[in-house]
Structure 1
Amino acid sequence: MNRPIRLVTAALTVSAALLLAACGSGGGEASDKIEGADSNGGGKASASAPTSTKPSGAKRPKIKLPGSFRADFVGWHHSDPKKQAILDDGKERLRAEYAAIIEGNPQAKPVAFYTSQQALTSSRAYIQGYVGNNHTLVGEARVFNPQVSLSDAGGGVLFYCVDESKGYTEDRGTKKRTGTPDDVNPVLQYRTTLKETKQGVWSTVSLETERGGCDK
């Protein structure tokens, strides 16, 4: 795609050492489409792997993606309930952004619900880029290999990969679609940090992306 499915890069507020430590943590699977699970970064999770329990302090918005665009989250389960909560809210943040692009609404409430601080400013600017160009998203994004960890201060660090090879930017008027050029790696690595709010929501406060940072 000429405009890849990713956020404008924002500087992370944690050390490089902490970010890299996240790559050794476990992840598993959850999604709009659910396929097998990896609860601790290696092997398949058992059928009895725990599901997340949403905190009762906040009413989470319902996010619906149209049939023209699908986000498949592969490997988004974890045996640790707190890390699972980070995975859940990190997933919903990305889904909220996709939905806002498709709706053409940079001020969409779900984006602000799951994103704050520098990450929110970057996200809204990114969505506005699509709106200003009269573009939307179609196709599919595969979101995989989540790596989650907790900092000593209690914050969250979440890495994950997004394969854009089946996702396209579509002009809302002409319906012309543009995909990732053949000479550009279609896989991005997202590196995010999150803080838990008083209502129990893990809000993404900073993020950066690296194209080619993941294996397809």
Structure 2
Amino acid sequence: MTVIPAGSFAKDWTAFTGLSGDRILFYSATRGGGVVCSVDDDNTIEDVTVIPPGSFANDWTEVTALSGDRILFYGKSKGRGVVCSIDDGNNIEDVTVIPPGSFAKDWTEIAGLSGDRILFYSATRAGGVVCSIDDDNTIEDVTVIPPGSFANDWTQITAVSGDRILFYGKSKGRGVVCSIDDHNTIEDVTVIPPGSFAKDWTEVSALRPPEGHVRIGRSAAELHHA
């Protein structure tokens, strides 16, 4: 584990997601902007690109990476979304609008899986949905995961390698790792006991390619942009 000291990040990032080349997109709902940076093999932050305020809408509640450096932005209040791509030069392009009402309004976490599949998790239902978003950014192949299939205290979920998902529960510092196979069946559940994690993580993201480590940042309350 590498600790990134307090003061290394801004305090207003509301979501972030991993891109290719060990890059990370940080999104601020307050600014409607963000930053793309990379984290090298020594876990050093470098290559910082600022995405100016107003570049994004300010109502996105979840941001997750798809294949080909496409990003899904999800807005809970209207059940809407946008898919765009961020190229190697950190430019936003290929924007597709997913209209209001296309998604449920109670998704609390979203994680990308293989094959352009996405897991949507609802703490209210303790259930979810797996669907795919194809190369034309069309939603298809929807599988409902029934209420009660998950615990209802997960505050962050992120995909790691091999279609494994890390679920993190802030209140107890606990977690679960499971896999979701090609048929969208949950299997291979490993429990990570309470107290294994700090209780103040506000975001969790795997860097891509995912064969690397899951890297976890300090809480928004503690981090401040230098």
Q: Comparing both chains, which one has the higher relative contact order based on Cα–Cα distances under 8 Å and sequence gaps of 6 or more? A: 1
Task: Write 1 or 2 for the structure with the bigger share of strand.
Answer: 2
TM-score by length of 1: 0.31
